[in-house]
């Protein structure tokens, strides 16, 4: 049976992550928000620390590489409840994004592409790509959230695939040393022909076209990447190279079942930072927040805070449920989308409302509230927009295919 309290074995690890977030990330939050496209050198030391924790086993699956589902011990774990790498990765990300979302997104070797590798790579590929920092290139100017409409092509030529296309909004696209590129093997075969390829940045034919200037997460670089007759060896196709129309998009989409709870966790962490600060400000101004009083008997500010806190708790529990299901090898596609939809919307609502409640202080750079409101917006957009998540949940609930419910 699922228990959504924080697992005891992770509590010391979470405390460590909180201290790191406070001393490394939040301490440099404003600095790199104002210095967009400047690489945060402080993260090199932090990344080395995370690598050391993971290698020693003390990290409990810290970071984006900790989301692979391992079936090796399935017979031993039959009927047992497991809190594993999905849950620990989620809990660490919540703490890190309590510190700073943009800096977490630009952590070396913790890119979303690393989660893609962990989700679908073969054992040989996992060994070969260990230590790489992988960005993930999905979105195109003509596709938006419809990943199934990808137009970037991968044409077989002997032992190589030739990749052609343009990808936009690639997080860490400039700083990462490799990119997981989603491309179609045959446009006529639709979603079933979409595969992901690991392309190292020194491969001829791949280039960063430009960096975007953004509303939020300015510490993280966001790139446009062009693939121009980029030749990638067939061994760099992640997972199964076969095109199975019966499988459809399932192989590629398995990546999202792991990454969407992590993005939901980012929103949960950022919203918690806003809630903690606004509570401090409200109580400092004399506002009483009393959980024993009915809402209508409290001030507008107190009633608003309690409602936001309830929404935040719901987002947290949905997110933890999605991670728990993944750790216990249970289908979590619907729950991952539910968590992403709820946390993305709630996170944005909470951070904006906190700016409102703080008045002039909330809108100025004297506090981080305005920054958190800007950072939170992307968390309702990337890895599938709010509308896409609701569509996926509706399909699962109604048992309809993508062609039946569009």
Whether 278 and 392 map to the same domain: the answer is yes
Highest mean pLDDT among 11-15, 59-63, 202-206, 326-330: 202-206
The closest alpha carbon to 94, from 104, 84, 85, belongs to 104
73-112 tens-digit pLDDT? 443 455 577 778 889 889 999 999 999 999 999 999 887 8
Q: Which residues pair with residue 49 across a beta bridge?
A: none
Whether 208 and 276 map to the same domain: the answer is no
Whether 317 and 216 map to the same domain: the answer is no
Q: What is the mean pLDDT of the chain?
A: 89
CATH number at residue 33: 1.10.540.10
In which domain, by residue range, is 291 found? 250-398
214-249 tens-digit pLDDT? 999 999 999 999 999 999 999 999 988 888 765 555
What secondary structure, in 3-state letters, does 161-199 show? EEEEEEEEEEECCCCCCEEEEEEECCHHHHHHHEEEEEE
Residue with tokens 């506090």: 367
Q: Which of 95, 209, 383, 404 is catalytic?
A: 383
Q: What is the dihedral of CA 176, 174, 157, 188, to 10 degrees?
A: 100
In a domain, 3, yes or no: no
Domain count, the chain: 3
Whether 256 and 308 map to the same domain: the answer is yes
329-361 tens-digit pLDDT? 899 999 999 999 999 999 999 999 999 999 999
Is the pLDDT at 207 greater than 50? The verdict is: yes
pTM, rounded to two decimals: 0.92
Among 195, 213, 236, the domain boundary falls at: 236
Whether 69 and 170 map to the same domain: the answer is no
Please report the pLDDT score of residue 85 as a whole number.
Answer: 84
CATH number at residue 277: 1.20.140.10
Q: Is 76 a catalytic residue?
A: no
The burial of 274, by beta-carbon neighbours within 10 Å (0-12 exposed, 13-18 middle, 19 or more buried), is given as buried
In a domain, 154, yes or no: yes
Please report the pLDDT score of residue 74 as a whole number.
Answer: 45
Whether 167 and 92 map to the same domain: the answer is no
């Amino acid at each position: 049976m699922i228990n959504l309290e924080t697992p005891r074995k992770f509590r010391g690890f979470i405390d460590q992550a909180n201290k790191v977030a406070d001393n490394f990330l939040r301490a440099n939050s404003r600095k790199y928000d104002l210095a967009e496209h400047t690489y945060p050198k402080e993260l090199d030391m932090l990344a080395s620390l995370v690598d050391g924790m993971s290698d020693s086993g003390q990290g409990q699956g810290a970071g984006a590489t900790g989301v692979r589902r391992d079936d090796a011990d399935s017979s031993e774990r039959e009927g047992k409840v497991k809190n594993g790498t999905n849950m620990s990765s989620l809990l660490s990300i919540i703490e890190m994004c309590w510190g700073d979302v943009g800096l977490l997104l630009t952590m070396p070797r913790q890119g979303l592409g690393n989660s893609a590798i962990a989700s679908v790579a073969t054992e040989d590929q996992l060994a070969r790509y260990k230590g790489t920092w992988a960005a993930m290139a999905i979105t195109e100017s003509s596709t938006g959230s419809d990943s199934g409409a990808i137009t970037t092509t991968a044409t077989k030529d002997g032992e190589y695939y030739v990749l052609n296309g343009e990808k936009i909004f690639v997080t860490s696209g400039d700083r990462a040393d490799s990119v997981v590129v989603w491309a179609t093997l045959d446009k006529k075969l639709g979603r079933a022909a979409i595969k992901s390829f690991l392309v190292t940045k020194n491969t001829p034919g791949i280039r960063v076209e430009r960096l975007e200037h953004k509303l939020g997460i300015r510490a993280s670089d966001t790139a446009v990447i062009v693939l121009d007759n980029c030749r990638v060896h067939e061994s760099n196709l992640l997972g199964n190279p076969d095109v199975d129309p019966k499988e459809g998009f399932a192989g590629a989409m398995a990546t999202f079942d792991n990454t969407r709870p992590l993005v939901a966790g980012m929103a949960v962490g950022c919203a918690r930072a806003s809630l903690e600060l606004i509570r401090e400000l409200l109580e400092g101004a004399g506002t009483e927040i009393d959980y024993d009083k009915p809402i209508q008997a409290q001030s507008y500010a107190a009633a608003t805070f309690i409602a936001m806190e309830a929404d935040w708790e719901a987002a947290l529990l949905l997110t933890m449920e999605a991670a728990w299901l993944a750790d216990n090898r249970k289908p979590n596609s619907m729950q991952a989308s539910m968590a992403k939809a709820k946390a993305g919307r709630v996170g944005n609502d909470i951070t904006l409302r906190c700016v409102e409640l703080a008045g002039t202080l909330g809108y100025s750079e004297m506090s981080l509230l305005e920054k958190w409101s800007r950072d939170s917006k992307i968390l309702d957009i990337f890895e599938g927009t709010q509308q896409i998540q609701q569509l996926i949940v509706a399909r699962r609930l109604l048992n309809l295919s993508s062609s039946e419910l569009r």
